[in-house]
Amino acid sequence: MKVLVTGGAGFIGSHVVDRLLQEGHDVVVVDNLVTGKRKNVPKAAQFYKLDIENPKLERIFRNERPSIVFHLAAQMNVRRSVEDPMFDAQVNVLGTLNVLEQASKHGARKVIFSSSGGAIYGEQLAFPAPETHITQPLSPYGISKLCGEHYLGYYHRLSGIQVVSLRYANVYGPRQDPEGEAGVVAIFIQKMLRGEQAVVNGNGRQTRDFVFVEDVVESNLMAMGPEVEGVYNVGTGIETSVNDLFKIVVDLTKVEFKEVHGPAKRGEQARSVIDSTKLHRDLGWEPKVDLREGLRRTVEYFRDGLG
């Protein structure tokens, strides 16, 4: 099957591309390489360097005619969205609109959208939050992801194209970029391995639902099924505080750093954990990699990169 992956040179997208190729699909990657890396794209995939909001995307869809589109390209830094909401909307709203317009126009059967279970729900009223939880995002990033979901619904009603929104918890793992994607796991690990002090934002009691990238990839592959549509949370349902995360990473990196706390960041919620019961019930998905094992694998990846 011909499959197009936006953001396929990035952290999650490149893992999705690897798995699609392993399954025998014909893969096309579109990525502007702002945060993605060309080395993450296998030679077996057709690669186009392009912004998703660029009108030239139409030519790629017209020539490649993908059956399924995985839309992972995004401005994904919550803090940058607070600092520059116009840029966030340009990429995450107008870029998503361009992808949906071209997919609908050029015969794609389905669009699988990488959304955000952490940012969309805002300060939660239920723990863990199901898909039916009220959506009240605190950041422009969360707003733009929710807007993307609504546009998916519009194009489904307009053209009949199938749409799936996967609301990820906090994804971590090998290839995560501590600079471009601001993942706390990658930041902590890289700093500690370099002998630098990692700083905990705020009091560190804020919690997140950390889900390993391989488990997230599995949810994407399951979403390809012809009967799969709608919104699904992708998380572990387990809350971990940033302070506890810091302790585990200290143990795995075998460094002796004490917790150092800095100011809290705007736009970040206090608790975030999502309920993936629907994904398990409908598709049989469940997280297979626990936090300590996933962090161990991630530490080894970064350690190899520094060697």
Catalytic residue among 141, 151, 172, 232: 141
Max intra-chain CA distance, the chain: 57
Query: How far apart are alpha carbons 110 and 103 in whole angstroms?
Result: 8
Active site annotation includes 141:
yes
Residue with tokens 């969205």: 81
Q: Report phi then psi at 55, rounded to 5.
A: -60, -25
- By the 8 A CB rule, do 219 and 114 touch? no
For the record, the structure tokens of 294 come out as 């996933």
DSSP state of 90: I
Q: How far is CA 50 from CA 68, 71, 73, 206, in A?
A: 19, 14, 11, 36
Q: Could you tell me which residues come within 8 angstroms of residue 306 by beta carbon, excluding any fewer than 6 positions away?
A: 193, 194
- Supply the residues annotated as catalytic: 141
